[in-house]
């Protein structure tokens, strides 16, 4: 706001999962940390940006990065629950603030080759076989989806979830677990 005097787009990209014990042994502190990072952190960012987005001359846009983990069972219950919460948060805010010109959309990536996967080439190769398109995603795959949803080209799209997942959700549980 200090530099441009307005805010048109908010992209929520923070998140992470990390390793934790199986469900029965995952204590409240892990749940709290993962919910805070992946869900409550997004809420905080949206609350801070919302007054400025409501004042945007051509309407504002919020694009939140979620995960296919919020849409299907890929494990990590605390992370997946937080990512799933983003979907209903997005839908509620789209319905509430659409009449005021602010759009809310969600991008749900599958496995994306980021620095988290550095030094894990074997894991990425194994995961790539699970995807119908035969590869894991690249950061540019997600960036293109975000840029589209944030742009005027998506002016009549709100409350949607756009999987950027190489087809893993459509492949179903049989392929994703083979």
Per-residue pLDDT of 123-141, as tens digits, reads 999 999 999 999 999 999 9
User: Is the pLDDT reported for residue 173 higher than 90?
Assistant: no
pLDDT band of 175, cuts 50, 70, 90: low
Given this model, what pLDDT does residue 20 score?
A: 83
Three-class SS of the chain: CCCCCCCCEEEECCCCCCCCCCHHHCCHHHHHHHHHHHHHHHHHHHHHHHHHHHCCCCCEEEEEECCHHHCCCCCCHHHHHHHHHHHHHHHHHHHHHHHHCEEEEEEEECCECCHHHCCCHHHHHHHHCCCCCCCCECHHHHHHHHHHHHCHHHCCCCCCEEEECCCHHHHHHHHHCC
Average pLDDT for 85-94:
98
Domains along the sequence of the chain with CATH: 11-176 (3.40.50.720)
Given this model, what pLDDT does residue 97 score?
A: 98
Average pLDDT for 40-59:
96
User: Is the pLDDT reported for residue 30 higher than 60?
Assistant: yes
* Portion of the chain with pLDDT greater than 70, in percent: 97
Average pLDDT for 62-71:
96
- The per-residue pLDDT of the chain, averaged, comes to 93
Q: Using one digit for the tens of pLDDT, what is the confidence trace for 139-162?
A: 999 999 999 999 999 999 999 999
Active-site residue list: 79, 83
């Amino acid at each position: 706001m200090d530099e441009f005097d307005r805010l048109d787009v908010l992209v929520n990209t923070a998140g992470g999962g990390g390793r934790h014990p199986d469900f029965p042994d995952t204590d409240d502190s892990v749940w709290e940390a993962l919910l805070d990072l992946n869900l409550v952190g997004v809420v905080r960012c949206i609350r801070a940006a919302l007054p400025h987005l409501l004042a945007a001359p051509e309407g504002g846009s919020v694009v939140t990065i979620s995960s296919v983990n919020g849409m299907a069972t890929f494990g990590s219950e605390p992370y997946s629950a937080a990512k799933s919460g983003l979907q209903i948060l997005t839908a509620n805010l789209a319905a509430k603030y659409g009449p005021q010109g602010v759009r809310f959309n969600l991008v749900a990536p599958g496995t994306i080759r980021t620095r988290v996967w550095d030094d894990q080439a074997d894991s990425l190769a194994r995961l790539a076989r699970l995807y119908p398109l035969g590869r894991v995603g690249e950061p540019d795959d997600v960036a293109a989806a975000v840029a589209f949803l944030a742009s005027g080209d998506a002016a009549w799209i709100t409350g949607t979830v756009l999987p950027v997942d190489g087809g893993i959700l459509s492949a179903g549980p049989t392929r994703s677990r083979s």
